């Protein structure tokens, strides 16, 4: 027993020494090296934030707001789809938003996807089927860059998973086109900051200069359910929709997690009662 304990302690000690030794170069650089000055745009950067009241799917007991998801799809179709695709989402998946099979079939037919003429073998565009995936608006990256000032619009299927605090990031970004604070701007300009022609200031973007111009304007689309299409509302809705495209099984996963927790609690209680029952009449014996 003593030898085993000593071996464990020695192992822990060696591990601790190795960890501390690996930190030595970083500590030396931190102490002796010159301070690293942050880029000028850091003065403007903002952290993503949730909309007032938060999202319905947030938290351990969150749920999808299907009306919001359908509105978010409308925003994507009428605004975002001009430049961004959803290559990992099939039209049939829209049934998960509350649409019927007939509605999904009709909706898919409003989109065109690449196809092959069965008679000539030539490439053609055809109405989409529920089994098709959302198309990319550009045939290739070269065409995408040529149409967007050399910036390639990313696919949005997994955007909220590709960005930290993704849902809040999309909401903040889409509703965050503002003019920079004059005092901060003057100080940053002294350090060389500028927003080049063709880029747009947005404090929630990585370097605050974004190639995408503002996309959401008051009343720019019409919601089928009569909801006012304010910039804030559209930003919330499209952020919720893109959260669903990235994590369509999120709510089921949360529900499964709660079921597992309840089962483990029950199993733990059952095991404890069994333990008490089996060993109730036993007395510990000292050797």
Sign of CA dihedral 183, 188, 193, 199: negative
Nearest CA to 171 out of 45, 43, 52, 82 is that of 52
3 state SS of 163: coil
- The counts of H helices and E strands in the chain are 9, 4
- Spatial CB neighbours of 207, under 8 Å, sequence gap ≥ 6: 39, 41
Is 49 flagged in the annotation as binding?
no
**Residue 112 β-bridge partners:** 127
User: What are the C-alpha distances in Å from 211 to residues 121, 188, 196, 208, 225?
Assistant: 38, 20, 10, 10, 32
DSSP per-residue string spanning 247-272: -TTHHHHHHHHHHHHHHHHHHHHHHH
Cα(166)–Cα(179) distance, integer angstroms = 23
**Residue 200 β-bridge partners:** 210
In the 3-class helix/strand/coil scheme, how is 105-154 assigned residue by residue?
HHHHCCCEEEEECCCCCCEEEEECCCCCECCCCCCCHHHHHHHCCCCCCC
Is 84 flagged in the annotation as binding?
yes
Binding-site annotation: residue ranges: 80, 83-84, 212
Binding-site annotation: residue ranges for heme c: 80, 83-84, 212
């Amino acid at each position: 027993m003593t030898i085993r304990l000593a071996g464990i302690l020695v192992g822990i000690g060696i591990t601790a020494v190795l960890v501390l030794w690996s930190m030595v170069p970083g500590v030396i650089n931190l102490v002796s090296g010159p301070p690293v000055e942050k880029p000028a745009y850091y003065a403007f950067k903002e952290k993503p934030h949730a909309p007032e009241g938060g999202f319905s799917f947030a938290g351990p007991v969150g749920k999808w707001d299907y009306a919001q998801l359908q509105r978010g799809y409308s925003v994507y179709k009428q605004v975002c789809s001009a430049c961004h695709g959803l290559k990992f989402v099939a039209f049939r998946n829209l049934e998960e938003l509350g649409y019927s099979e007939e509605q999904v079939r009709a909706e898919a037919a409003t989109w065109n996807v690449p196809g092959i003429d069965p008679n000539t073998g030539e490439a053609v565009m055809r109405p989409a089927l529920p089994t098709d995936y959302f198309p990319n608006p550009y045939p290739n990256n070269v065409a995408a860059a040529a149409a967007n000032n050399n910036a390639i619009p990313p696919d949005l299927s997994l955007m909220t998973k590709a960005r930290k605090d993704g849902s809040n990031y999309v909401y903040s970004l889409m509703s965050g086109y503002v003019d920079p604070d004059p005092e901060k701007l003057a100080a940053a300009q002294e350090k060389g900051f500028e927003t080049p022609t063709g880029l747009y200031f947005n404090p929630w973007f990585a370097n605050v200069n974004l190639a995408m111009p503002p996309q959401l304007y008051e009343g720019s689309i019409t919601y089928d359910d009569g909801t006012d299409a304010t910039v804030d509302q559209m930003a919330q809705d499209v952020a919720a929709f893109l959260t669903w495209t990235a994590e369509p099984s999120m709510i089921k996963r949360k529900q499964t997690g709660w079921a597992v927790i309840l089962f483990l609690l029950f199993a733990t209680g059952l095991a404890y009662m069994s333990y008490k029952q089996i060993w109730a009449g036993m007395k510990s014996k000292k050797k």
